[in-house]
Amino acid sequence: MVIPVTEKPTPASAYEVALQQYDAVARRLGLDPGISAIMRSPRATLEVNFPVKMDDGSVQVFTGFRVQHNTARGPAKGGIRFHPAVTLDEVKALAMWMTWKCAVVDIPFGGGKGGVICDPKRLSPAELERLTRRFTSEISAFIGPDRDIPAPDVYTNAQTMGWIADTYSMHHGHFIPAVVTGKPLALGGSLGRNEATARGCVFVIQEAAQHLGMVLPGATVVVQGFGNAGSVAARLLHQLGCRVVAVSDSKGGIYDAAGLDPDQVLAHKQKTGSVVGFAGAESIGNAELLELPCDVLVPAALENQITEENAGRLRARLVAEAANGPTTPEADRILYQRGIWVLPDILANAGGVTVSYFEWVQNLQFFYWTEEEVNQRLRQTMQRSFRAVWEIAQAQQVDMRTAAYMLAVRRVADAIQARGIYP
């Protein structure tokens, strides 16, 4: 179809973005067409509609998804998000990104993702538990410790994972902690898992800062999203001496040129439900926040935030994608031309799944590590991966996302090739 040039294109969906990114790299790598076609679609997709008894006695039917994108390198791995706007298309994109993410950091997993269309903020804890348990039951034949291992994502947490572990275990008649990661410590969760996404992101920011000649103490930071990734990234960067000048959540943002104390902002959010209204800070919109001048911008919310519409107005030196898919391919091109460095999601937020891998290993071995060991191994993994991506970016004269994709897609293609096609 030819789109008239005057017509403004509708924004691409997350899955279209994921496919565009993949297609560009598959072409560049000159992959065998058959191997390339395998990686282009998810190996399996499950959609379930299931009833939940609500507190008022009524029954509501919810829709959920679990997608396994690729399992050539190991079991599918990836989070489950609870969000009113989650779609199968989005989950397919997120599953594909998980395949590349696990390959970039070279952990023995494929990619998967799940989602349930619901608004967790409007469900009681008991409703949330029943929804989680019934969804787990519906997907329980699909998941498993050597098949597909869920984890937390947007609006799910350690408690959600505890319910998943328990439900799956009840079905099997014994406790199987390795079926899910990001669990509470009391159920075999790993020390350091909660902070891992943000900690990994900060490790690669430190690597990038060295290359840019950016001194982190005193550097200004803007964080979009104040959930598990964003709030911890703000805290860790603050601890390194950065000045966190603005943060936001789904309700809006706050700005203070003198710098915010992320711990105090978190305490305010825990009390009131949002960062908005934090004493002494100016309020600022989410769109405006992305365009603030800063050294480091950390998008830590949802997809499609940095687009061709606003990429020309960004004033950050470095963008570190703690969120999945915050930048569209058109925006990537604009940022690259403008010399703004992007640390892509599949590298920058891979710390979460890396420590998920450590958790799974600990569960399978019944042998638990100290927090220092976890953080030390995480640091090694992030530094090694950053350097591998950086070298490709230098050698091929490409941006960091293209380099990360080249590394990841090649690794998955090699695994498919080595396994061969059954039968």
For ligand GLU, the binding residues (CB under 6 A) are 77-79, 101, 151, 153, 181-182, 324, 349, 352-353, 356
Two structure tokens written together for 65: 């998804």
Q: CB neighbours (10 Å) of residue 246?
A: 27
| Distance in angstroms (rounded) separating the CA atoms of residues 246 and 274 | 14
The region, left, alpha or beta by phi > 0 then psi within -120 to 50, assigned to residue 366 is left
Q: What's the min distance (Å) between Cβ of 251 and ligand GLU?
A: 22
User: Does the annotation mark 113 as catalytic?
Assistant: yes
In the bound state, the residue with its beta carbon closest to ligand GLU is: 79
Q: What's the min distance (Å) between Cβ of 422 and ligand GLU?
A: 26
Q: What's the min distance (Å) between Cβ of 153 and ligand GLU?
A: 4
Q: What's the min distance (Å) between Cβ of 369 and ligand GLU?
A: 16
Q: What's the min distance (Å) between Cβ of 33 and ligand GLU?
A: 29
In sequence order, the β-bridge partners of residue 47 are: 65
- Crossing angle of helices 193-212 and 371-396, rounded to 10°: 40
Two structure tokens written together for 22: 């993949």
CA torsion sign, 2 to 7 to 9 to 10?
negative
Q: Which of 255, 246, 208 is nearest to 224 (CA)?
A: 246
| Residue placing its CB nearer to ligand GLU in the complex, 99 or 402 | 99
| Residue placing its CB nearer to ligand GLU in the complex, 302 or 340 | 302
Two structure tokens written together for 192: 């350091």
Contacts by 59-63, CB closer than 8 A, 24 or more apart = 62/116, 62/117, 62/118, 62/131, 62/135, 63/116, 63/117
| Residue placing its CB nearer to ligand GLU in the complex, 96 or 340 | 96
Cα–Cα distances in angstroms (integers) from residue 422 to residues 400, 414, 418, in the given order:
34, 16, 12
Q: What's the min distance (Å) between Cβ of 245 and ligand GLU?
A: 26
| Residue placing its CB nearer to ligand GLU in the complex, 151 or 284 | 151
| Residue placing its CB nearer to ligand GLU in the complex, 248 or 349 | 349
| Burial grade of 410 (CB within 10 A; 0-12, 13-18, 19 or more) | middle
| Residue placing its CB nearer to ligand GLU in the complex, 177 or 352 | 352
Which residue out of 92, 113, 183, 269 is catalytically annotated? 113
For the annotated catalytic residues, the residue numbers are 113
